[in-house]
Amino acid sequence: MIAESADLLASPWRFQAHVEVWLLVAALVASWIYAVRVLGPRLAPAEPAVSVRQRGAFVAAVLILWLASDWPIHDISEEYLYSVHMFQHMAVAYFVPPLVLLATPEWLFRALVGNGVLARAVRWMGRPVPAGLTFNVVVMITHIPALVNRSVTNGPLHYALHVAVVVSALFMWMPVCGPDPSLHVGWGGRMIYLFLMSVVPTVPAGWLTFAEGIVYRHYDIPVRVWGLSATIDQQLAGAIMKVGGGIFLWTIIGTMFFRRFAASFGREQSYLRTDSTAVGSSMPDTLTYEHVTDAFGRVPPAPEPPRR
CA separation, residue 25 to residues 21, 61, 294 (Å): 6, 10, 73
The whole-angstrom distance between residue 291's C-alpha and the CA centroid of its chain comes to 53
- 218, 148 contact by CB (below 8 A): yes
280 dihedral zone (left: phi>0; alpha: psi -120 to 50; beta): left
User: What average pLDDT does the structure give for the chain?
Assistant: 84
Listed in sequence order, the residues at least 6 apart from 217 whose beta carbon sits closer than 8 Å to its beta carbon are 145, 149
Over pLDDT 90: what percentage of the chain? 53
- Quick: pLDDT tens for 262-285: 656 555 555 455 554 444 455 555
CA separation, residue 175 to residues 76, 130, 170, 299 (Å): 34, 11, 10, 57
DSSP assignment of 74-97: HHHHHHT-HHHHHHHHHIIIIIHH
pLDDT at 205: 63
pLDDT at 178: 95
Give the span between the Cα atoms of 36 and 33, in whole angstroms. 5
Question: Average pLDDT of 118-133?
Answer: 95
- Please report which confidence band the pLDDT of residue 1 belongs to, taking 50, 70 and 90 as the band edges: very low
pLDDT at 266: 54
Question: Average pLDDT of 131-145?
Answer: 90
- Quick: pLDDT tens for 248-262: 999 999 999 988 776
CB atoms within 10 A of CB 168: 24
Over pLDDT 70: what percentage of the chain? 78
pLDDT at 276: 47
pLDDT at 277: 47
- Quick: pLDDT tens for 218-249: 898 888 899 899 999 988 988 888 888 888 99
Long-range contacts at 134-138 (CB < 8 A, ≥ 24 apart): 134/168, 134/171, 134/172, 135/93, 135/168, 135/169, 135/171, 135/172, 135/197, 136/197, 136/200, 136/201, 137/168, 138/164, 138/165, 138/168
Name the CA radius of gyration of the chain, rounded. 28
| For residue 55, pLDDT beyond 60 | yes
